[in-house]
């Protein structure tokens, strides 16, 4: 058996067409493009490439992107003041903080200056709390993309047993909550979970978000299970692999996301979806 490939590139392209149409309609309603402001501290090459990709994606869909690059030596007070100004600026509809912040800067302090209505990463404590309560909120883009893959590829979630391997506040925990809202029975696994394989072999859906290359082997997978792999691990030879041993798992699973080309392409598109949601909500349309 060879698993069905859940191709994120194909889904991302379809989503781009849908979001471009929504932005065109939104522009007519508000007589301008929705604006995302990206705050970057320092000029790390990888961070700069990512921010540029967000700029290109935004413009290609009809949105506008403002990039604010602050020096490495920026103080906590200066960074917080920048976020405060953007939060108060009616010409800015959403704010993205390029993470992680350099050592010495407090994310909690910055989030205290970010209004949750503009939090495009869905990491503000209020948005996290709303998600935990099952109420409408801006949710983190990576797990949102994972759920979109399940939905668009018509993977049944209701009544299924699901395991999320990883408990980060940005991916693992929100993904578990989203699966719970979709009526799955969810187990969260982590570095202290005893006999991980025994847990996973009972599950119909496995979400890998541990940040450990090829942690999940074929022997841990229930035949026919669906695997969503959020792992992006770069090996010594420069190749990228997920948290799942793809070559072996593809012969056991029923459906699986590849790395690269699975969850990654969908994540950035979900950021634009959050921008549209934020704009509509903030302006009452």
Confidence of residue 99 (pLDDT cuts 50, 70, 90): very high
The verdict on 65 and 150 lying in the same domain is no
> Are 94 and 274 spatial neighbours (Cβ–Cβ below 8 Å)?
yes
Assess whether the previous peptide bond of 161 is cis (omega < 30° from 0): no
pLDDT at residue 1, as a whole number: 62
Q: Is 7 contained in some domain? A: no
Per-residue pLDDT, averaged over 11-35, amounts to 98
3-class SS shares of the chain: helix, strand, coil, % to 5: 45, 15, 40
- pLDDT for res 153: 98
Which residue do the tokens 């935004």 mark?
Answer: 58
Q: Is 232 annotated as a binding residue?
A: yes
187 is in an annotated binding site: no
Sign of the Cα torsion 213, 215, 218, 224 reads negative
Q: What is the pLDDT of residues 154-200, one digit of tens each?
A: 999 999 999 999 999 999 999 999 999 999 999 999 989 999 999 99
Structure-token match 């983190």, residue found = 140
pLDDT digit string, tens, across residues 103-117: 999 999 999 999 999
The model carries a pTM of 0.94
Is position 166 annotated in a ligand binding site?
yes
Tell whether 191 is in a known binding site: yes
Residues 226, 174, single domain; the answer is yes
Residues ≥6 apart with Cβ < 8 Å to 255? 3, 4, 5, 6, 153, 155, 226, 227
For the chain, what is the domain count?
A: 2
Q: Domain range for residue 202?
A: 141-263
Q: Is the pLDDT of residue 150 over 90?
A: yes
Give the CA distances from residue 47 to residues 38, 59, 67, in Å, rounded to whole numbers and listed in that order.
Answer: 11, 19, 12
23 in any annotated domain: no
Are 66 and 107 found together in one domain? yes
pLDDT for residue 205 is more than 90 = yes
Q: Domain check: are 160 and 197 in the same one?
A: yes
- For residues 83 and 146, membership in a common domain is answered with no
DSSP 114: S
Instruction: Please indicate if the annotation marks 32 as binding a ligand.
Output: no
Residue 111: inside a domain: yes
Per the domain annotation, does 17 fall within a domain?
no
Does residue 47 form part of some domain? yes
- The string of pLDDT tens digits covering residues 213-238 is 999 999 999 999 999 999 999 999 99
For residue 45, the tally of other CB atoms under 10 A from its CB is 7
Please indicate, yes or no, whether residues 158 and 89 belong to a single structural domain of this protein.
no
């Amino acid at each position: 058996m060879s698993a069905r490939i859940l191709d994120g590139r194909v889904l991302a392209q379809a989503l781009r067409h849908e979001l471009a149409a929504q932005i065109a309609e939104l522009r007519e309603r508000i007589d301008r493009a929705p604006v995302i402001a990206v705050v970057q501290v320092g000029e790390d090459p990888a961070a700069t490439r990512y921010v540029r990709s967000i700029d290109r994606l935004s413009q290609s869909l009809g949105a506008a992107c403002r990039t604010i690059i602050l020096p490495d030596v920026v103080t906590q007070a200066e960074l917080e003041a920048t976020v405060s100004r953007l939060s108060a600026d009616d010409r800015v509809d959403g704010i993205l903080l390029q993470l992680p912040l350099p050592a010495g800067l407090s994310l909690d302090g910055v989030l205290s200056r970010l209004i949750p209505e503009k939090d495009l990463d869905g990491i503000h404590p209020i948005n996290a709390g709303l998600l935990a309560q099952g109420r409408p909120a801006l949710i983190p883009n990576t797990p949102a993309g994972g759920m979109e893959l399940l939905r668009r590829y018509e993977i049944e979630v209701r009544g299924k047993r699901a395991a999320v391997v990883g408990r980060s506040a940005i991916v693992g925990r929100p993904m578990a909550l989203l699966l719970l809202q979709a009526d799955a029975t969810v187990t969260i696994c982590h570095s202290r979970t005893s006999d991980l394989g025994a847990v996973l072999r009972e599950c119909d859906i496995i979400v890998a978000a541990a940040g450990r290359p090829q942690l999940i082997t074929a022997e841990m997978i229930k035949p026919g299970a669906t695997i969503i792999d959020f792992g992006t691990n770069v090996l010594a030879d420069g190749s990228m692999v997920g948290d799942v041993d793809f070559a072996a798992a593809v012969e056991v699973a029923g459906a699986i996301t590849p790395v690269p080309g699975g969850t990654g392409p969908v994540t950035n598109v979900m950021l634009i979806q959050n921008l549209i949601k934020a704009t509509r909500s903030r302006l009452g349309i």
